[in-house]
Structure 1
């Protein structure tokens, strides 16, 4: 168990810790000279029942509230100290408010200097404390008079702490490792050492970890847990880690950093959060309100973005977006505190919800529903709610990372999901939502074919936007590719159609097309005849020839690259492949119209027409006379064989739990 002190300056917090442990926590020369705590102090004691308890002694001066916050983030139990002579003071109230905001629910109030007070005075202070605690998380906590000088009440306090340690027990070591750094220093003969409270998971000697948010990689050379040598450090332990690695020096790590499992390194600078403003705040908080954000042992400047149209009044709560000046290492569910920019007062605090908050559309109904889901108490409840919230799918890998979950815990989140594996991780949908998506998609295709029988299909983006459920475009393409492999539909470049849908020429046009097609695919394919040329060559009316080629374009057989200039679809795909080859030989991948003209031997005018056509469709990106290919649009005209081969390696079917991820997944049907 980790116990943290709290209370006003000169109320005897350090003396109380010394009486309990025999350790002097004021180690700095200035602290000893001035008789006040300036930095965090640490002490440990093994109680007669075998419980080893760590103590974090925090400074009480208002100038060092930021230091108090750095130590309070990982405590299990609070020692709220009130001196018998002074009674409740300003920092008593502020420290108690901070404990409330950090959700510290267990504690005891100690009336120090009890040997110097009369019984009447002690009773008056107890009444004052009872009123102070009313409505707080520590309401109803024991109040014990103690004298660090004479030992009065120390035995009673020790017994209470020992009992609390048994009741609280050890924190679960499940999940991934996180340690909030509150000290970093160099030790002669050892190197870089960091200390802090393990917030989750466990770490062993030899493990590879990340320093976040910097991203530096380190190896754990040795561990001290609860001030004793150890092979392993677990959640709830005060740990010192001796770290080694490239660029791992004392100056590379500082208070506020996190030492984390490699999977958890994902710094963020924009977070949606639930914020409660203290009743003591003099005025409402408005848009873009500047604050100091305290999270773990970190302190960083931030701005508050309101997600409602009204300001946040004192004593009320609201969902907000926190925009921080520099990235921090955080987890969904972490507690935080905000103070004013002059460090004079604590404004409020709350709980982090979404670590990947968007800068746009942050007030939409979909965002509000998502944040309500993320505010639920358990990961399992969160996932169930998220799967019924737009966009109706969840990236399990990202959710597990943001919640600090390991593979074993992730496997318990959901019993029955449909897995959709994109490039970036495992996406899942609820079976009912998948069925609605699939049925709606096929119904939209059937309706489109009925209204447009002469069209070869519908564009991917248009089809995506027709649906009630609209996955992001990359995920939507993956879904379509899975359905194509099942034989339900067909993907042809930019077109989607039902597998059963066929567009045909009339018998008369079929004959004429048979005369046109060889010219579009033969030696003239890179400079095919224009509409008038075809009409003259085949001795048909120009309007009829134009009608035939327009129909062929709607059928997806050709593309009208320029007015009355039609290229076979497969030829356009071939030209894109040629441009990829050309770009591969050029510095920065940039090429000119002359480069294409020389490869196709089709004249400058036709080469420019082709490139302008590709410009319009986003396949090429032009800057002056130079162009480069857009890698995200290369498959627009059917050049997608490589992408489909890659996607086919992970089909929509039941995923072997031992091979991939332990969450059970049903096959898509």
Structure 2
């Protein structure tokens, strides 16, 4: 258990911690000289049976509240101190408000310096404290009278904290990836760089690799290897969530690490400058919290400035009373979700109206521009710099001058969208993200998100370890799942799958009605007609589902309903037999329609008609007008194009050299691949679409094809 002290300056926090643990947490010369804590101090108390309690001694000075918050975001139990000779003071109130805003509900109140006052004063102080904590998260906290300098009450307090530690529910470590908020960095001879902090989730072992987040602007995250570990101030082979941890790192220099950064497992690496949070405005505030308000945002051990955008307000049933619905505790369901959102200029999704609506069984959220004192709602924080954050992390807002705490809550989505953030669809998704576990959050998203859920992004934001993501998906349930190289990549709910299939089939039937002479659209065009905002991997998976169910037929690059097919006449069959040998022998050069007619000794008009029908059936391909290729040649050229990609781009010169084609013909072939979706034209480059499986046999290596990759169109 991690205990965090709180209280006014000179109310005996450091002295009491020393009496409990034997450790003086004032370690800096200036702290010794001035007699006050300036930096976070740490101490540990053995409680027997492999139980060790860690203490975070935080400064009480008003100018060091930001340091107090750095220590408070990772604690399990609050120890609020009030000196009997002074009574309740300004920082007592502020620290109590901060603990309440952080959602810390386990706590003890220590009435210190009891040897300095008489019994009537002690009784008066107890009454003042009870009045102070009434209606706060520590309303039911016991009051223990102590005199640290004489030892009075210290034993009773120690036994009480040990009992609290034994009663603390164990942190859920399985399935969580490790992350630690760095609050101190130093160097040791023979060890190198050492980072200390509270482990918020997961487990780490010597030899593991961790990423430093967020990275320097324009750079990739630095990587360090765990060389040594201390957990709760003891040498260890492993350390886990809820412990104070010191990590010796190889590969990182002291000057490269700053307080407020995170050390995290690579599979959950992320950083953000937008957070969607569930927030409660302090009931004692005189003004509403309005959109556009500048604030200081505290997450983990970091503080950054930003602005508020109020998204919605919970109904009165949820916001009533001093304790609205419980906020997740630190380390629970640690962070990141996001289903696809509407893009600019696009209309409403054709399936959105048919999907379950938000708020079924949940208090509704009303769109709002402000939160009134004591109200709870959904807020987006637009930050002025990147930070590390995950779902479930505690958040505290202070005013622009950083002199007063305003509000507190938890992160719901650390990768919040910049647009459409107040739409009913988005509010529905945020309500789903208030559930108490990653599996329930994912299930809620799958029930709400018409475009599916990016599972890799969601799992990283929730802090879910890579080897636990399949189990997460199984617990949530989904109808359509796309697997990627590192596990599940996309998922679509059962209702959405059925609705999108109906929409796609309707669009295909309409295409047949409008273009009866054509076999059907190619898959890329069909997607643009039916689901232009759907991720390509999900679309490909839907097509395969419909094809395997016999709902559609895919012929080459074209799709059509089974009842709609281009039928060849006896004349077409005869001409096809005459032209196909020449096409097969032409290889990469292809054959012009006029030359095929000449070689077959047939009228050019008849040959053109037959070639058009064969092309519609996917039995040959027209690269440019009147230039035809056999499927085997196109498949080989597509393989060469994929192998020619450098950094994802296919250059005409490289493709020309590898294929042996002339420059003009090479460009024509690449433009054909752009058209059918193998490549995508971006400026002067032909960018490889790793999600497209056209012209790839099922037995070929899927590494180059990768229908499982995610396209962010």
Q: Same fold (TM over 0.5)?
A: yes
The CA deviation at 1:382 is: 1.6
Q: Is the 8 A contact 2:680 2:689 kept in 1?
A: no
Q: Is the 8 A contact 1:3 1:54 kept in 2?
A: yes
Q: Is the 8 A contact 1:264 1:402 kept in 2?
A: yes
Q: What per-residue deviation string (whole Å, max 9, x for no partner) do you get for residues 643-664 of structure 1?
A: 9762899999xxxxxxxxxxxx
The CA deviation at 1:512 is: 7.2
Q: Does 1:266 align with 2:270?
A: yes
Q: Does 1:238 align with 2:244?
A: yes
Q: Does 1:252 align with 2:276?
A: no
Structure 1 residue corresponding to 2:307, chosen from 278, 292, 303: 303
Q: Does 1:502 align with 2:561?
A: no
Distance 1:615 1:413 in 2: 34
For residues 409 and 160 of structure 1, do their structure 2 counterparts lie closer, same or farther at Cα, with a shift above 3 Å needed?
A: farther
Distance 1:648 1:610 in 2: 19
Q: What secondary structure is seen at the aligned counterpart in 1 of 2:702?
A: helix
Distance 1:233 1:622 in 2: 47
The CA deviation at 1:521 is: 7.4
Structure 1's unaligned 5+ residue stretches are 653-669
Q: Is the 8 A contact 2:593 2:607 kept in 1?
A: no
Question: Which structure has the bigger radius of gyration?
Answer: 1
Distance 1:420 1:119 in 2: 70
RCO higher in 1 or 2 (8 Å CA, sep ≥ 6)?
Answer: 2
The CA deviation at 1:143 is: 1.9
In structure 2, the residue matched to 1:184 is 185
Structure 2 residue corresponding to 1:630, chosen from 684, 687, 690: 687
In structure 2, the residue matched to 1:81 is 81
In structure 2, the residue matched to 1:528 is 592
Q: Is the 8 A contact 2:291 2:370 kept in 1?
A: no
Q: Is the 8 A contact 1:390 1:469 kept in 2?
A: no
Q: Is the 8 A contact 2:501 2:542 kept in 1?
A: no
- What aligned pairs does 1:446-457 form with structure 2 within 5 A after superposition? 448-449=511-512, 452-457=515-520
- What aligned pairs does 1:31-430 form with structure 2 within 5 A after superposition? 31-47=31-47, 51-168=51-168, 170-174=170-174, 175-214=176-215, 215-243=221-249, 245-246=250-251, 248-307=252-311, 310-315=368-373, 316-391=375-450, 393-406=452-465, 407=467, 411=471, 414-415=474-475, 417-418=478-479, 419-423=481-485, 425-426=487-488, 427-430=490-493
For residues 259 and 630 of structure 1, do their structure 2 counterparts lie closer, same or farther at Cα, with a shift above 3 Å needed?
A: closer
Q: Is the 8 A contact 1:31 1:37 kept in 2?
A: yes
The CA deviation at 1:45 is: 1.8
Distance 2:637 2:534 in 1: 28
Q: What per-residue deviation string (whole Å, max 9, x for no partner) do you get for residues 299-344 of structure 1?
A: 2233334435643234233322233344333221111112234322
Q: Does 1:646 align with 2:646?
A: no
For residues 449 and 55 of structure 1, do their structure 2 counterparts lie closer, same or farther at Cα, with a shift above 3 Å needed?
A: same
Distance 1:482 1:201 in 2: 37
Identify the range of structure 1 (553-562 vs 69-78) with the bigger mean alpha-carbon deviation: 553-562
Distance 1:21 1:504 in 2: 88
For residues 581 and 41 of structure 1, do their structure 2 counterparts lie closer, same or farther at Cα, with a shift above 3 Å needed?
A: closer
Distance 2:93 2:231 in 1: 32
- What aligned pairs does 1:531-570 form with structure 2 within 5 A after superposition? 565=626, 567=628, 570=631
Q: Is the 8 A contact 2:8 2:92 kept in 1?
A: yes
Q: Is the 8 A contact 1:182 1:297 kept in 2?
A: yes
Identify the range of structure 1 (518-527 vs 57-66) with the bigger mean alpha-carbon deviation: 518-527
Q: What secondary structure is seen at the aligned counterpart in 2 of 1:270?
A: strand
In structure 2, the residue matched to 1:10 is 10
The CA deviation at 1:251 is: 1.6
Structure 2's unaligned 5+ residue stretches are 216-220, 313-366, 709-713
Q: What secondary structure is seen at the aligned counterpart in 1 of 2:449?
A: coil
The CA deviation at 1:186 is: 0.7
Q: What per-residue deviation string (whole Å, max 9, x for no partner) do you get for residues 517-568 of structure 1?
A: 888778697573579x99xx9668x8x9987777676666777777x75645
Q: What secondary structure is seen at the aligned counterpart in 1 of 2:92?
A: helix
In structure 2, the residue matched to 1:661 is none
Q: What secondary structure is seen at the aligned counterpart in 2 of 1:502?
A: coil
For residues 173 and 581 of structure 1, do their structure 2 counterparts lie closer, same or farther at Cα, with a shift above 3 Å needed?
A: closer
Identify the range of structure 1 (460-469 vs 181-190) with the bigger mean alpha-carbon deviation: 460-469
Q: Is the 8 A contact 1:183 1:196 kept in 2?
A: yes
Identify the range of structure 1 (151-160 vs 10-19) with the bigger mean alpha-carbon deviation: 151-160
The CA deviation at 1:385 is: 1.5
Distance 1:435 1:176 in 2: 34
For residues 51 and 409 of structure 1, do their structure 2 counterparts lie closer, same or farther at Cα, with a shift above 3 Å needed?
A: farther
For residues 611 and 162 of structure 1, do their structure 2 counterparts lie closer, same or farther at Cα, with a shift above 3 Å needed?
A: closer
Q: What secondary structure is seen at the aligned counterpart in 2 of 1:646?
A: coil
The CA deviation at 1:58 is: 0.4
Distance 1:258 1:581 in 2: 38
The CA deviation at 1:120 is: 3.5
Q: Is the 8 A contact 1:459 1:494 kept in 2?
A: yes
TM-score by length of 1: 0.81
Q: Is the 8 A contact 1:420 1:479 kept in 2?
A: no
Distance 2:155 2:236 in 1: 30
Q: What per-residue deviation string (whole Å, max 9, x for no partner) do you get for residues 612-667 of structure 1?
A: 777777857486xxx4423229969x544589762899999xxxxxxxxxxxxxxx
Q: What per-residue deviation string (whole Å, max 9, x for no partner) do you get for residues 324-382 of structure 1?
A: 34433322111111223432222222111123323333333332222111111122322
Q: What secondary structure is seen at the aligned counterpart in 1 of 2:245?
A: strand
In structure 1, the residue matched to 2:358 is none
Q: Is the 8 A contact 2:558 2:616 kept in 1?
A: no
For residues 461 and 284 of structure 1, do their structure 2 counterparts lie closer, same or farther at Cα, with a shift above 3 Å needed?
A: farther
Distance 2:547 2:459 in 1: 31
Q: What secondary structure is seen at the aligned counterpart in 2 of 1:3?
A: strand
The CA deviation at 1:112 is: 2.0
Q: Is the 8 A contact 1:386 1:392 kept in 2?
A: no
The CA deviation at 1:272 is: 1.9
Q: What per-residue deviation string (whole Å, max 9, x for no partner) do you get for residues 66-101 of structure 1?
A: 110111111111111122333222222221121122
Q: Is the 8 A contact 1:271 1:357 kept in 2?
A: yes
For residues 124 and 298 of structure 1, do their structure 2 counterparts lie closer, same or farther at Cα, with a shift above 3 Å needed?
A: same
